[in-house]
Amino acid sequence: MNLNSSQTLTISGQDGVKNGSQHSWEDAKTILKPSTPSKKPPKPENSITIAVSSRVLFNMEKEQQIFEQQGMEEYIKYQVAHETEPFSPGPAFSFVKALEAVNTQLRDLYPESEELFDVVLITNNHAYVGLRLINTINHHQLFIERFCMTGGNSPIGYLKAYNTNLYLSSDPIKVHEALEEGIAAATMFTPEKMTEVSETQLRVAFDGDAVLFSDESEQIYKAHGLDKFFEHEKAHENKPLDHGPLKGFLEVLGKLQKKFYAKGQRMDCPIRTYLVTARSAASSGARALKTLRSWGLEIDEALFLAGAPKGPILEKIRPHIFFDDQMFHVEGAAEMGTVACHVPYGIAQRVPEGKGIKDKEISSIK
Ligand SMILES: [Mg+2]
């Protein structure tokens, strides 16, 4: 759904709790003015679509609290009273800004091409909150033309309609649903203090097993421990791993990188990718690299940590986003200021580890 649609919007709260009334998009259209970029958004079939929920793009914690503690009516009243006050940036904000910086450089090099990132905002908020969201987008000068207000329904149908290449949300259940449908997706968390990141180069860091790769080797590790895992991987070095849920996203990043390389920008490419894995270089790293090569994919930097914590190395890399299937790595990264996302995929989800948000998230995912 976009703002030109004449569909009916069902009013709902942030948790999708309906209050029974409806507003027509015809009414909303007169209120919801699009942001005012001169650039046209690319067609969904040509673009690399990144769908983000309003609660990861912006900081809506205070409003969420009002909704939870005081209910829908107070929530709406508050939002309307603060309509002209923009939300402050959330954890996905720098990532989206970096996508736009890459687009600017792509447009300079390939003015006619529609192979660009296209950010879609997914929200199940009330129409009047939609107005505050648009004011916020204009305030921060973000280039977001596509809004998808799901009225409390699952976003999956819309994600498919937009050919979504990556979906980021704070809701692990929606993320899980998207993954089940084969859409690359991750649950994003807000670190207490976010590390400063580059404004001109997009940096994306991936875990290997159960993120870029399937969880087939992870299963060996869970069943028999790290030593057996290293042994197994050494023995199967020449057998490529199956793909994991985020492989497609690395693929599209690689496709865009090649466009920069074709213009002589290999060393100063505005997209840089990182593999940050618990595998060790000596025993199990070769299989990871050979797998990527068998897919025709490159990764700019591969960091084999042999089980060491990922937080400190990520602090040095300063990625805009880091993906991992294990909550203790997500937490470790977030503690050191990295915007980290959980990919609820593979065997690690069935074996709760540690404490804190991880147990809650895992138990709610199943
Ligand atoms: Mg993993």
Number of C-alpha atoms within 13 angstroms, CB side, residue 308?
11
Predicted local confidence at residue 84, as pLDDT: 93
- Measured between alpha carbons, how far is residue 344 from residues 85, 147, 151, 196, 362 in Å? 35, 25, 25, 27, 8
- Please, what sign has the CA dihedral across residues 66, 69, 71, 77? negative
- Taking the centre of ligand 1 as the mean of its atom positions, its distance from the CA of residue 210, in whole angstroms, is 5
pLDDT recorded at residue 26 = 40
**What gap in Å lies between CA 190 and CA 357, rounded to an integer?**
12
Distance 327 CA to ligand 1 centre (A): 10
Span from the CA of 58 to the centroid of ligand 1 (angstroms): 28
Residue 206 amino acid letter: F
Domains of the chain: 8-188 (3.40.50), 202-365 (3.40.50.1000)
Q: How far apart are CA 174 and CA 194, in angstroms?
A: 25
Q: How far is the CA of 124 from the centre of ligand 1 (A)?
A: 31
Residues taking part in catalysis: 207
Averaged over successive runs of 10 residues, the pLDDT of the chain (366 residues) comes to 31 35 40 49 86 95 92 90 95 97 96 95 83 94 89 85 95 94 96 92 97 93 87 93 97 97 95 95 90 95 93 97 96 96 88 40 30
SS3 letters across 187-237: EECCCCCCCCCCCCCEEEEECHHHHHECCHHHHHHHHHCHHHHHHHHHHCC
Calpha distance 340→73 (Å, rounded)? 33
Please give the pLDDT value at position 350: 63
**Strand ranges of the sheet holding 185-188, from the earlier edge strand across to the other edge:** 146-149, 117-123, 48-53, 164-169, 185-188, 340-342, 321-324, 202-206, 271-277, 301-304
> Which residues contact residue 223 at a Cβ distance below 8 angstroms, ignoring those fewer than 6 apart?
none
Nearest to 338 by CA among 216, 171, 228, 195: 195
Alpha carbon distance, N-terminus to C-terminus of the chain = 30
Distance 7 CA to ligand 1 centre (A): 41
- Other Cβ atoms closer than 10 A to 202: 27
Q: How far is the CA of 160 from the centre of ligand 1 (A)?
A: 26
**Both tokens of residue 288?**
């990871």
- Write out the two tokens for 340: 């980290």
Q: Is 366 exposed, middle or buried (0-12, 13-18, 19+ CB in 10 A)?
A: exposed
Predicted pLDDT at 276: 97
For residue 209, the CA-to-ligand 1 centroid distance in Å is 4
Q: What is the pTM of this model?
A: 0.85
CA of 217 to the centre of ligand 1 (A): 9
**Distance of CA 284 from the midpoint of ligand 1 (Å):** 13
Cβ burial of 347 (10 Å; 0-12, 13-18, 19+) is middle
The Å distance, Cα 126 to ligand 1 centre, comes to: 37
Distance 211 CA to ligand 1 centre (A): 6
